[in-house]
Amino acid sequence: MNYADQIKEAYHFIQNLHAEPVNIGIILGTGLGKLGEKIQVDIEIDYSEIPYFPISTVESHSGKLIFGKIGEKKVVAMKGRFHYYEGYSMKEVTFPVRVMKLLGVQSLLVSNACGGLNPSQHVGEVMIINDHIDLFPENPLRGKNLDEFGVRFPDMSDAYSPRLIKLAQNIALENNFMFHTGVYAGVQGPNLETPAEYKYLRSIGADAVGMSTVPEVIVARQMGLEVFGISAITDLGVEGKIKKVTIAEVLAAAALAEPIMAKLMAELVTRM
């Protein structure tokens, strides 16, 4: 079965369990578990049940597709995402975003954990993403174009919605949240960067670096979805502040950012 047919089969399977269309999709990456708690759940579907859906192999990512509401807004949320470093192809990594489009999603909200590169940042703070730099070795649009999903050469001049960025900034200011706005560099991983790599990434214009988000955003924009991205700063790649970190420390830092990210995203959804 070809890729397009796999997407449609997954969609039809989900539709049989939850037929109501949803127009907001959320990827609950590291640091957004509490937003999942704010969803009034209608149904949860294990990834393992959905035809052709990948299964997350990362310890901190559970694998469920959640349908429900935040306030009065209907949402579908991925509790756990897929990464290129897990061994999946980019088409597998972005498969759920394609399925979301068929489910009716028009706006995609994405979260992640990242390493901060800007000297003004501190561990536990959040960064609203206003652009990205794609440093992955494979592009999710490589290969035969799926014309029914979008054009061969999608424009990326406004990959992250200026409307949603402004709305999120206003929400953060209203709540006196400390936040940054900046550029996210997406890399393959799974190792963290060397000091020289951090210096290089900063020199080419990145404010943060991580191992996700960029593939999903490229596919979402090809399909015409409006995109918002936010990062939890879990470690620092700033000269003089670089230290050894463990996954436990990354998760602890993400937990510091989690309440702010969850409240900001929930409020953003209700105002969209």
Cβ partners under 8 Å of residue 204, min gap 6: 133, 185
Q: CB-based burial of residue 95 (10 Å sphere; 0-12 exposed, 13-18 middle, 19+ buried)?
A: buried
What pLDDT shows up at residue 150? Answer: 94
DSSP letter at 222 equals H
Could you give the 3-state DSSP secondary structure of residue 99? helix
Tokens of 67: 């349908």
Condensed to tens digits (0 to 9), the pLDDT of residues 193-206 reads 999 999 999 999 99
**Scanning the structure block, which residue is given the tokens 């979402």?**
220
What pLDDT shows up at residue 62? Answer: 64
Query: pTM surpassing 0.75?
Result: yes
Residue 142, beta-bridge partner list: none
Residues of the chain below pLDDT 70: 31-32, 56-62
What pLDDT shows up at residue 240? Answer: 86
What pLDDT shows up at residue 250? Answer: 84
Q: How far apart are CA 108 and CA 179, in angstroms?
A: 20
Q: How far apart are CA 73 and CA 65, in angstroms?
A: 16
Q: How far apart are CA 117 and CA 122, in angstroms?
A: 10
What pLDDT shows up at residue 58? Answer: 57
Residue 72's CB is within 10 A of a number of other CB atoms, namely 8
Residue 182, beta-bridge partner list: 129
What pLDDT shows up at residue 80? Answer: 85
Residue 73, beta-bridge partner list: 70
Q: Please report, as a single letter, which amino acid is at residue 102.
A: L
According to CATH, the topology of domain 3-271 is Rossmann fold (3.40.50)
Tokens of 270: 């209700």
Q: Please report, as a single letter, which amino acid is at residue 142.
A: R
How far is residue 132 CA from its own chain's centroid? 12
Q: How far apart are CA 67 and CA 19, in angstroms?
A: 11
What pLDDT shows up at residue 251? Answer: 84
Q: How far apart are CA 182 and CA 41, in angstroms?
A: 32
Residue 181's CB is within 10 A of a number of other CB atoms, namely 17
DSSP per position, 29-46: -TT-HHHHHTSEEEEEEE
Q: CB-based burial of residue 42 (10 Å sphere; 0-12 exposed, 13-18 middle, 19+ buried)?
A: middle
